[in-house]
Amino acid sequence: MSKTVASKENAGLIRRYSHYINGENITSTSGRLIERINPATGKLIGTLQDGTAEDVDLAVSAAVEAFEDGRWSGLTAAQRSDVLRNVSRRLKEDWQDLALYESLETGKPLAQASGEAQWAGDIWDYAAGQARSLHGETYTNVGEDKLGLVLKHPVGPVGLITPWNYPIVVLSQKLPFALAAGCTVVAKPSELTSGSTLAIAKFLEEAGLPKGAFNVVTGYGDPVGKRIAEHPHIRMISFTGSTVTGQSIARAATGNMKKVVLELGGKNPTVVFSDANLEAAVDGAIKGFVYNSGAECCSGSRVFVQRESIAAFTELLCKRLEAVKVGDPMDPLTTMGAIINEAQFAKINRYIAEGKKSGDLAFGGNVITDLPGLFVQPTVFTNVSPTAPIAREEVFGPVLVVIPFDDLSDAISLANDTEYGLAAGVWTSNLETALTMARKVRAGIVWVNTFLDMPSEVPFGGTRQSGYGRENGRQAIEEFTVTKSVVVQNPSTYERYLG
């Protein structure tokens, strides 16, 4: 029996999770549990600890001790790299059960969860290399009797707060880089998707990570996330989630001036010029708002199409969307799965209702009632004003607006007419147009003739209300370091300041 088949047969098992603190499974001081319901079936799939501030304090104490005694930070880069690469190997080769549980927790298709687990393995592999690439600088031009040194130290114990939409990948865009730098970690996954983070804790333990170097406290943002953000011994927070929550975390972190990296929301433009490969642009647009049921901070939820091509684009878009299968995440033919929970399901449907008032419904727009879980159709609106809420606010669901533009200047203006600045897509066969858009659109990442393309080597992050700091690429490990300068004077050439 294959691992994949065996995992599917165990899909009905209820998993019971504890905190992971100092290498041990710990129950919460609250004595309470959180139940996780599979959004695709409505069935109970697991329970986890309802964490408290006291649980966070215990985890932080373990992380501080593990950092201060050097059991992790004191290892060589090669030793840390070996541990991370062992996890990478595990993610690439033994991903089936991890992907299954991500699918059960999120409602996303198993095929997508499987790809994400292996994608995470590539990120860990890259981070393992970064552990050995991190280095300082020397300055020999400050005088014959002096030497300038620039050192890179791990920032200390860090807090990682991750969302529900990509629980494996988002953790992997933070955790291996923090560990590569020599930091110790306290993580708080979403209360909706904690299983994969706790599984990776076990991967790290088996890979040789010392006790206390990685700790997981499950529960709600208040009190768990709030306490991590405020804790005086946590020296850095890396958070992915909504802009409103990110603002709260940034304010909480000012109490002890800890470093903060925020990857927040987006209302991202996809701009299609009339000289683009129309079929490729349509496929990119579908991927940009259907993948992960639209629960994607980089979702291309605003599509601007040059006016002379908008009719053909919209017709082809709606025709291709007919092939999108919404349904059972375990079905390999499923393209789009369930919505994560009732609250998000209601939010998406409120925006669909608003869209029906402010524009023309071109495709979808309905709840799927013949399935047991939380399912909606991919939904497209046309003839929508760029100022309408459906065109300005982050839906975090499979809802798209298609809006015309006239020329290059108009495209730049419309693309930048947002408080966010995370991602953008450009579709054109004209190199000058592509380069102009890449320079002028205010976003942390711009894709040209592709979308949601995330090589591990390329840094990722936003501007404005989409946050600050970078994940992936060589910049990611730098975020988890502090820079120290050292100036060394030759003692034989020392001159007294006085006398």
pLDDT digit string (tens) for 86-142? 999 999 999 999 999 999 999 999 999 999 999 999 999 999 999 999 999 999 999
Q: What is the DSSP string of 414-457?
A: HHT-SS--SEEEEE-S-HHHHHHHHHHS--SEEEES-SS---TT
- Measured N-to-C along each axis, helices 310-321 and 278-290 cross at an angle, to the nearest 10 degrees, of 50
Active site includes 263?
yes
How confident is the model over 296-315, as a mean pLDDT?
97
Q: What is the predicted pLDDT for the residue at 1?
A: 26
Beta bridge partners of 260: 237
Query: What is the C-alpha to C-alpha distance for residues 16 and 285, in angstroms, rounded to an integer?
Result: 39
Least confident of 5-9, 32-36, 76-80, 139-143: 5-9
Residue 464 and residue 420 in contact, taking contact as beta carbons nearer than 8 Å: yes
Q: What is the predicted pLDDT for the residue at 495?
A: 77
How confident is the model over 357-369, as a mean pLDDT?
96
Q: Which of 105, 263, 296, 394 is catalytic?
A: 263
Long-range pairs, 426-432, Cβ under 8 A, ≥24:
426/270, 426/271, 426/273, 427/270, 427/271, 427/272, 427/273, 427/276, 427/277, 427/280, 427/281, 427/284, 428/273, 428/275, 428/276, 429/275, 429/276, 429/277, 430/273, 430/275
Query: What is the C-alpha to C-alpha distance for residues 38 and 227, in angstroms, rounded to an integer?
Result: 28
Structure tokens at 495: 């001159």
How confident is the model over 34-59, as a mean pLDDT?
97
Q: What is the predicted pLDDT for the residue at 8?
A: 47
How confident is the model over 342-358, as a mean pLDDT?
97
Q: What is the predicted pLDDT for the residue at 494?
A: 78
Radius of gyration of the chain (CA): 24
This prediction's pTM: 0.95
CATH of domain 3-264+462-484: 3.40.605.10
Q: Which of 105, 297, 471, 479 is catalytic?
A: 297
Residue 153 and residue 482 in contact, taking contact as beta carbons nearer than 8 Å: yes
pLDDT digit string (tens) for 269-302? 999 999 999 999 999 999 999 999 999 999 999 9
For residue 23, pLDDT beyond 80: yes
Taking the CA atoms of residue 389, residue 394, residue 397 and residue 400 in that order, the dihedral angle to the nearest 10 degrees is 50
Mean pLDDT of the chain: 95
Q: Reduced to 3 states, what is the DSSP secondary structure of residue 223?
A: helix
What is the separation of C-alpha 292 from the centre of its chain, rounded to a whole number of angstroms? 12
Q: What is the residue extent of each domain of the chain?
A: 3-264+462-484, 269-448
Confidence grade of residue 4 (pLDDT, cut at 50, 70, 90):
very low
Please name which of 7, 180, 160 lies closest in space to residue 87, comparing C-alpha atoms: 180
Residue 351 and residue 399 in contact, taking contact as beta carbons nearer than 8 Å: yes
Q: What is the predicted pLDDT for the residue at 12?
A: 55
Burial classification of residue 146, based on how many CB atoms lie within 10 Å of its CB (0-12 exposed, 13-18 middle, 19 or more buried): middle
pLDDT digit string (tens) for 198-230? 999 999 999 999 999 999 999 999 999 999 999
Q: What is the predicted pLDDT for the residue at 499?
A: 58
- Percent of the chain surpassing pLDDT 90: 95
Residue 199 and residue 98 in contact, taking contact as beta carbons nearer than 8 Å: yes
CA distances from 128 to 123, 209, 289 (A): 9, 13, 32
How confident is the model over 329-334, as a mean pLDDT?
96
Query: What is the C-alpha to C-alpha distance for residues 149 and 139, in angstroms, rounded to an integer?
Result: 6
Active site includes 297?
yes
- Report phi then psi at 212, rounded to 5: 85, -15
pLDDT digit string (tens) for 385-416? 999 999 999 999 999 999 999 999 999 999 99
For residue 370, pLDDT beyond 80: yes
Tell me, what DSSP letter sits at residue 168? H
Tell me the CATH class for 269-448.
Answer: alpha beta
For residue 6, pLDDT beyond 60: no
Residues in the chain: 499
pLDDT digit string (tens) for 154-199? 999 999 999 999 999 999 999 999 999 999 999 999 999 999 999 9
How confident is the model over 250-255, as a mean pLDDT?
90
